[in-house]
Amino acid sequence: MTKDIYILGIETSCDETAVAIIKNGQDIVANVVASQIESHKRFGGVVPEIASRHHVEQITLVLEEAFAKSELSWDDITAIAVTEGPGLVGALLVGVNTAKALAFAKQKPLVGVHHIAGHIYANQLQQPLMFPLLALIVSGGHTELVIMKAHGQFEVIGETRDDAAGEAYDKVARMLNLPYPGGPMIDKLAHEGQATIDFPRAWLDPDSFDFSFSGLKSSVINTIHNAKQRGEQLENADIAASFQESVVEVLTKKTYDAAIQYDVSQVIVAGGVAANKGLRTSLTKAFEHTNIPLAIPPIHLCTDNAAMIAAAGTIAYEQGKRAGMDLNANPSLPLEQ
């Protein structure tokens, strides 16, 4: 009988302090997330210095809670996986240094994980990945289409040229005086309104899988200002519905076209914006008439968590990847390496 592999994952790249323990790369034994959203809300976005301080305060508590929930001890842990980048450098450093200290003190192997690889591997906690696959990653910092031909191999075929999808959501939410994070609020409002405003869709070059959301964001600002000058009052719900329709239409069409062109065996969606109900519905509709299975993780695995880092870390561990005590936070770590 082969021995079970238990990977302890640590994630602190943005505003969630998270620790998880995963068995054999797919079973969640413990998954603890301490969100800092309340602390950043009054500033309308994540304040890096505040994020780092919160991570320092929370990391030990979250670690203890993960062990308490798992009913495991350090003897059971095979290795430690930690997000090394990309993200906020001060925030990443808390996770990386915690992981290094634990690896040294407990004499465990250490594995560095790319945050986006983590988001992709959140899907592995639901079902095995099938290659070649296409991943649409949509988060606060990333909008990417990635082809994977095997575990741990990533080829970026499209990415945003300006704002990330989640960033556009958060900025438009701010214009509508909605609290941070704006994505869930706009998603909710969008379902209460009608897409009556014809916002632009940035298709870019016909065969490009790149994205652009800054023109859409400017168009939303201009529409709101122009209406104000004319003394008209636009419904926030209609602005949200129209904005969401534009984002979702572009994300869906480019994902669909890429899946057909690359003849993939599976399409997976990852990142905080994958929690969006409009996007989930639209992608489901687009792929239901194809023979390409679509996988979208449950909402709590779409937003930042450490279970996804431990899942990606298990693959890296099995592939023999190891980090040394010189592991450093890398805020712009590339995915393809």
Q: Choose from Zn ion, ligand KG4, none: what does 193 bind? Cβ within 5-8 Å by kind.
A: none
Stretch that binds Zn ion, among 77-85, 125-133, 253-261, 303-311 (CB under 5 A): 303-311
Burial 42-61 (b: 16+ CB within 10 A, else e): eebebbeebbbbbbbebbee
Least distance from Zn ion to the Cβ atom of residue 273, Å? 10
State yes or no: residue 304 binds Zn ion (CB under 5 A): yes
Rounded to whole angstroms, the Cα distance separating 214 from 71 reads: 47
Side by side, the strands of the sheet bearing 6-11 are 27-35, 16-23, 6-11, 79-85, 110-114
State yes or no: residue 167 binds Zn ion (CB under 5 A): no
State yes or no: residue 139 binds Zn ion (CB under 5 A): yes
List, in sequence order, every residue forming a beta bridge with 112; answer none if it has no partner: 82
State yes or no: residue 11 binds Zn ion (CB under 5 A): no
Contact (Cβ atoms closer than 8 angstroms) between residue 239 and residue 287: no
With respect to ligand KG4, which residue has the nearer C-beta, 77 or 189? Answer: 189
State yes or no: residue 276 binds Zn ion (CB under 5 A): no
Stretch that binds Zn ion, among 88-96, 155-163, 247-255, 299-307 (CB under 5 A): 299-307
Contact (Cβ atoms closer than 8 angstroms) between residue 112 and residue 323: yes
With respect to Zn ion, which residue has the nearer C-beta, 165 or 220? Answer: 165
Rounded to whole angstroms, the Cα distance separating 263 from 86 reads: 29
What is the contact surface with ligand KG4 in residues (CB under 6 A)? 14, 139-141, 166, 169-170, 181-184, 187, 271-273, 275-276, 303-304
Q: Choose from ligand KG4, Zn ion, none: what does 98 bind? Cβ within 5-8 Å by kind.
A: none
Size of the residue set binding Zn ion (CB under 5 A): 2
With respect to ligand KG4, which residue has the nearer C-beta, 170 or 245? Answer: 170
With respect to ligand KG4, which residue has the nearer C-beta, 77 or 240? Answer: 240
Which residues are CB-neighbours of 54 under 8 A, at least 6 positions away?
15, 17, 34, 36, 39
Joined together, the tokens standing for residue 298 give 């449950």
Contact (Cβ atoms closer than 8 angstroms) between residue 183 and residue 303: no
Least distance from Zn ion to the Cβ atom of residue 304, Å? 4
Rounded to whole angstroms, the Cα distance separating 80 from 19 reads: 10
| Binding-site ranges for Zn ion (CB under 5 A) | 139, 304
